[in-house]
Structure 1
Amino acid sequence: MESREPFTRVDQEKHPTLLEISTWMKQGSRLTAGFTSRIGGVSEKPFDSLNCGLHVLDRPEDVVCNRQRLASAISIPLDRCTYAEQVHGNDVVVVTSDNQGKGHAIREEAIQDTDGMITNESGIALCMMYADCVPLFFWDPSKRVIGVSHAGWKGSVLDIAGATVAKMNAVYGSEPQHIQAAIGPSIGGCCYEVDERIANQVTQHYESLQIQGISTNDILLPSEHIGKYMLNLKLFNQAMLLKAGIVSSHIEVSGLCTSCHTDLFFSHRKEHGQTGRMVAWMAMKES
């Protein structure tokens, strides 16, 4: 894990509280990337207050209002903010002017069955939702390509991280060694207890990869409860990014745990499923 927290909290008057990847945004003056908090929206309990998920039984008009607040804060029109219907898979979709803005106000219109999005077009915001799962960010400054992916334990085992890198390479010619990656706030190994069924799937998949430097024992630790394990999904995905060819020094890892900080984040695990969703966003603003 990186000792320096790459996600910087930004509190601005009349805007929601956001966590920006400040180092990336300094590199690219038109790049905007980060993760929403739960602060600064209009939703009522238990979705208070910046819930951006249309699928959690919150009032749709409140969710759209929250999404508009995010769009205004990052200076991207709401109808160019693109949302996906996430299914814990490893499909990655290319977003262009033809499908930009899908799902921004109506859930059924989101890009279906998708857990990763990439684009090289300016003025399009890639938006994916989380409430403990791992947000993955990708930035190729050489080819000017961006990507955002969603990695729960299933998507991690299916290697959504590697699938995103492969898609960036196949479509835009992005070389893995030029790609920068960031792992955002998510549930940490301190809080993510899983049963033997999940632990066995993680172990079988990971040991078959033979990744140097990070062992299964680093990713899965025994829990204080018999037959349970503590799963470090951030480290798992860090290993998958390395396997995909991304240079270790190009990977930023947040130390923030969504379950430990429900004052700042929604946590599906900590709040027993009755909670909202954060957004990981990324866009290249038009000049």
Structure 2
Amino acid sequence: MIKEPFFLKHSVLMIETWSAFQEGLIAGFSTRQGGFSTAPFDTLNLGLHVDDHIEDVLKNRKQLASMIRAPLEKWVCGEQIHSNKIAKVTKADGGKGSSQMETAIPGVDGLYTKDENVFLMAAFADCVPIYFFAKKHRMIGIAHAGWRGTVANISGEMIKKWTQEENIPIEDICVCIGPSIGKCCYEVDEGIIKQIVEHFGSNKNHQVYEEVGDGKYHLDLKQANYELLKKSGVNCEQIEVSSFCTSCHPDLFFSHRRDKGKTGRMLGFIGLTK
């Protein structure tokens, strides 16, 4: 794992390292700062499904669209049901899920495209945003990985689609694991750990979880996805990992766990403009 790839610009975290080697690439993660929503969604809540005032959410989305120069009518959002299902989208899908949840791409937690001026968006409040980019092939993708999506290996599914269906060599794929709840704050029970063990085996080599007593464990979702990406054949040098914990920074992030479910959502986004 290497240095922090995300840098704060105004109220948005951008993947600086990727922007530096691809002109026209827009990739990042919103914060909770600088919007219109009131408590407990204050202020830049971008989630349409959290009982916030819809007019405030749409104002927030339009503000983010203006900040990152990604018009709402070119956003594409998935339904996000904690699956490992992934959809390839095109310009024809522009606007799906941007203003109404009902129009989002159904049944998916991952999106990818080769089309320019298509902005892939996914909502988060502790789950792991995973960004994918193959510069030579101008392919971009994003995945939403909670513990269920992680166990179902959504990151590996994206790699499989790109290598097997899009004929992209594994060595051409870069991945960035974004801000999410950290091992420091994510306590889970033995039922979840049993499923983790089924997929990862013993904890000797990867340190995906740590027992803290009374049948409780700290789970590292970022590390889990990192290990799955390596298992899929992605070289360590091609994977960047954010150090930001969404639960540890109430000034920057919404957190479903920290805020006991009553909170807003950030958006992860990626698009190519040229």
Distance 2:237 2:12 in 1: 25
Residue 51 in structure 1 maps to residue 45 in structure 2: yes
SS of 1:218's equivalent?
Answer: coil
Offset at 1:77?
1.2
Counterpart pick for 1:123 among 96, 117, 140: 117
* Map of 1:7 onto structure 2: 6
Residue 197 in structure 1 maps to residue 191 in structure 2: yes
SS of 2:28's equivalent?
Answer: strand
Offset at 1:38?
0.3
Contact 2:206 2:227 in 1 (8 A): no
* Map of 1:250 onto structure 2: 238
Residue 87 in structure 1 maps to residue 81 in structure 2: yes
Distance 1:228 1:141 in 2: 42
Q: Where in structure 2 are the equivalents of 1:27-38 lying within 5 Å?
A: 27-38=21-32
Counterpart pick for 1:218 among 189, 207, 212: 207
Offset at 1:172?
2.5
* Map of 1:272 onto structure 2: 260
Distance 2:206 2:222 in 1: 14
Paired letter, 2:99: A
1:33-54 C-alpha deviation (Å, 9 max, x unpaired): 0100000111111001111110
* Map of 1:64 onto structure 2: 58
Please, which runs of 5 or more residues in structure 1 have no aligned partner? 12-16
Paired letter, 2:108: T
Distance 2:218 2:198 in 1: 16
Distance 2:96 2:32 in 1: 23
1:50-72 C-alpha deviation (Å, 9 max, x unpaired): 11110000011111111111111
* Map of 2:143 onto structure 1: 149
* Map of 2:156 onto structure 1: 162
Residue 180 in structure 1 maps to residue 169 in structure 2: no
Residue 227 in structure 1 maps to residue 221 in structure 2: no
SS of 2:140's equivalent?
Answer: strand
Paired letter, 1:153: W
Distance 1:38 1:264 in 2: 6
Please, which runs of 5 or more residues in structure 2 have no aligned partner? none
SS of 2:196's equivalent?
Answer: helix
Contact 1:206 1:216 in 2 (8 A): no
Offset at 1:115?
0.5
Offset at 1:216?
6.2
Distance 1:6 1:67 in 2: 24
Contact 1:258 1:266 in 2 (8 A): yes
Identity %: 43
Contact 1:156 1:237 in 2 (8 A): yes
* Map of 1:240 onto structure 2: 228
Paired letter, 1:257: C
1:217-245 C-alpha deviation (Å, 9 max, x unpaired): 6111011x410000000000000111111
Q: How many residues are matched? A: 274
Distance 2:92 2:185 in 1: 41
1:114-167 C-alpha deviation (Å, 9 max, x unpaired): 100000000000000100000000000111100000000000000000001112
Residue 259 in structure 1 maps to residue 228 in structure 2: no
* Map of 1:14 onto structure 2: none
- TM-score, normalised to structure 2, is 0.97
Paired letter, 2:15: I
